[in-house]
């Protein structure tokens, strides 16, 4: 569970998305990652408090059903599906860029197609197969990031790979700590906080763990600190070794940093790792969204065929459907360059489209946890893993998330992606209302009864008759 959560969060948002965030704000992006990491810590603790009592698969959608309203459970499940199809799309876009490092003439859609077919097959086999692959994918990322941080500190302190001339940390301020002022700092925060999306995978895997309570506490406690160290540590190395304003926004800054200082072997190894990270992101996305799709189908929100499972207990129709969704993202990667020339801008636009839907599970978790405490106060007796500083920490985290969405409205690179997220949520809210007749204004029967009551009111006999109508 720890490695799956790490794998979900340490992915293309860090290895590719950091290129844009560094360009927007310079070294102060370190503060962005630290603040966003603290918000995610609060989200994880809120989720952990509820999971300890109710360890169920697809938990945060179920918590929204129980503690808020079924419409929020519905939107949470669909938001998770949309977010991870978008993330899978971002991963296949990034794969083409990574493979271009070794094979410049290779069409950028080829690596993505191979990855989709391979990962779909892996997820079709069994949950254990997915877990094993994700464990090793995550292990590769984690070990390499640790080694990269160590190597980077060697360059900074001892000058390894730089003629034994220590680089130092003067690049943190010599070209401006806040590269483009407060505006750039705030603009970068949206992509930074989105790069943490995936830690909530613990809530999806909880119901399939052998000892969920022990696993949940251990996974939540260790995962968030590791993620913050890896994110802040690796970005610190990059902006210290190489001037932030000379990085190419269309390349992974991890690879470019080591290439520029002449450590080409390290650059090639890191490029392999970021390719593995993209595979890991797709792998996690297929697993996560297929379970949410199965969850929706079991509640009759999708065709019953999505609940079909193979002999290994895998919802294979759901896995196939999600893989097709990511394949459509691959097609999008072929079409968009005709309209947008910069591959870096294409990545940011596609990746940012999942920010608002990706925040929905976090918002739901924070609100559900407050409702959980009110509805089930007895569950908190002798509870070893309570959310710290609740409810004030909940309100603070929610305020930062909503402020991030407001800032996205003023960033030209995230305005259209934010609009896509708003349209997505509005569309599925409308679909839910229609399907469940929750909107009385479009209920024909309500109109007829309303006009009947108005007629009774005009005839001055409405008091007794209206009371009978209400009953």
Comparing CA positions, the residue from 221, 196, 219, 197 lying closest to residue 208 is 219
Q: Is the pLDDT of residue 40 over 60?
A: yes
Q: For residue 391, what pLDDT is reported?
A: 94
Residues 468 and 391 in one domain: no
CA distances to 55, 156, 205, 221, 372 from 214, rounded to whole Å, are 11, 40, 13, 11, 20
Residues 415 and 449 in one domain: no
Residues 451 and 323 in one domain: no
Q: Which residue has the higher pLDDT, 173 or 179?
A: 173
Which domain covers residue 454, as residue numbers? 444-471
Out of 251-265, 409-423, 442-456, the most confident range is 409-423
Q: Which residue has the higher pLDDT, 403 or 151?
A: 403
Lowest mean pLDDT, pick from 127-136, 168-177, 236-245: 127-136
Q: For residue 129, what pLDDT is reported?
A: 75
Provide the H-helix boundaries in 195-342: 201-205, 212-241, 253-260, 264-298, 316-335
Q: Is the pLDDT of residue 459 over 60?
A: no
Out of 8-17, 158-167, 168-177, the most confident range is 168-177
Kindly state the tokens that stand for 399.
């305020």
Residues 352 and 467 in one domain: no
- Give the Cα separation of 106 and 117 in Å (integer): 18
Q: For residue 94, what pLDDT is reported?
A: 80
Residues 470 and 403 in one domain: no
Q: For residue 261, what pLDDT is reported?
A: 66
The DSSP call for residue 36 is: H
- Give the Cα separation of 71 and 14 in Å (integer): 32
Residues 470 and 330 in one domain: no
Residues 375 and 466 in one domain: no
Q: Is the pLDDT of residue 198 over 90?
A: no
Residues 282 and 314 in one domain: yes
- Give the Cα separation of 227 and 83 in Å (integer): 20
Total of domains in the chain: 2
- Give the Cα separation of 368 and 350 in Å (integer): 29
pTM, two decimals, is 0.82
Residues 350 and 469 in one domain: no
Residues 366 and 450 in one domain: no
Q: 342 pLDDT band (50/70/90 cuts)?
A: low
Q: For residue 259, what pLDDT is reported?
A: 72
Q: Is the pLDDT of residue 228 over 50?
A: yes
The pLDDT tens digits of the residues spanning 44-53 come to 899 989 988 8
CATH number of the CATH domain containing 313: 1.20.1740.10
The pLDDT tens digits of the residues spanning 200-210 come to 766 666 556 66
Residues 68 and 113 in one domain: yes
Residues 6 and 142 in one domain: yes
Is the backbone peptide bond immediately before 354 cis, with ω within 30 degrees of 0? no
């Amino acid at each position: 569970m720890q490695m799956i959560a790490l794998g979900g969060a340490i992915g293309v948002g860090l290895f590719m998305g950091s290129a844009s965030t560094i360009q927007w704000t310079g070294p102060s992006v370190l503060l962005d990652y630290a603040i966003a990491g603290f918000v995610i810590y609060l989200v994880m603790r809120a989720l952990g408090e509820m999971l300890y009592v109710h360890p169920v698969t697809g938990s945060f959608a179920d918590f929204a059903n129980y503690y808020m309203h079924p419409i929020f459970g519905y939107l949470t499940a669909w938001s998770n599906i949309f977010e991870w199809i978008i993330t899978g799309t971002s991963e296949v876009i990034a794969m083409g860029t990574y493979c271009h490092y070794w094979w410049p003439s290779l069409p950028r859609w080829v690596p993505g197609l191979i990855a989709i077919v391979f990962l779909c097959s892996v997820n079709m086999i069994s949950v254990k197969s997915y877990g094993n692959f994700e464990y090793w994918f995550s292990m590769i990322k984690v070990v390499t990031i640790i080694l990269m941080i160590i190597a980077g500190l060697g360059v900074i302190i001892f000058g390894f790979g730089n003629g034994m001339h220590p680089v130092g940390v003067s690049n943190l301020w010599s070209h401006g700590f806040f590269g483009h002022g407060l505006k750039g700092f705030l603009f970068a925060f949206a992509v930074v906080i989105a790069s943490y999306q995936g830690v909530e995978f613990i809530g999806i895997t909880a119901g399939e763990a052998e000892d969920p309570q022990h696993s949940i506490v251990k996974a939540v406690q260790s995962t968030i600190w590791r993620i913050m160290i890896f994110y802040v540590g690796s970005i610190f190395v990059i902006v210290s070794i190489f001037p932030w304003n000379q990085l190419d926004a269309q390349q992974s800054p991890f690879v470019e940093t080591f290439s520029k200082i002449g450590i080409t072997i390290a650059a090639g190894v890191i490029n392999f790792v970021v390719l593995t990270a993209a595979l890991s992101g797709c792998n996690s996305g297929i697993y996560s969204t297929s379970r949410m799709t199965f969850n929706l189908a079991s509640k009759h929100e999708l065709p019953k065929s999505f609940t079909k499972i193979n002999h290994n207990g895998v919802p294979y129709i759901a896995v196939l459907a999600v893989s097709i969704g990511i394949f459509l993202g691959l097609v999008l990667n072929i079409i968009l360059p005709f309209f947008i020339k910069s591959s870096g801008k294409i990545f940011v636009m596609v990746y940012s489209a999942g920010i608002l839907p990706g925040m929905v599970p976090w918002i739901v978790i924070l609100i559900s946890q407050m409702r959980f405490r009110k509805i089930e106060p007895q569950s908190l007796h002798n509870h070893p893993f309570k959310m710290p500083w609740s409810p004030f920490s909940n309100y603070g985290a929610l305020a930062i998330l909503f402020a991030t969405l407001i800032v996205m409205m003023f960033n030209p690179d995230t305005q259209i992606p934010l609009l896509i997220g708003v349209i997505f949520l509005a569309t599925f809210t409308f679909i839910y209302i229609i399907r469940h007749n929750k909107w009385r204004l479009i209920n024909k029967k309500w109109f007829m009864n309303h006009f009947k009551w108005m007629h009774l009111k005009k005839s001055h006999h409405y008091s007794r008759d209206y009371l009978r109508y209400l009953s």
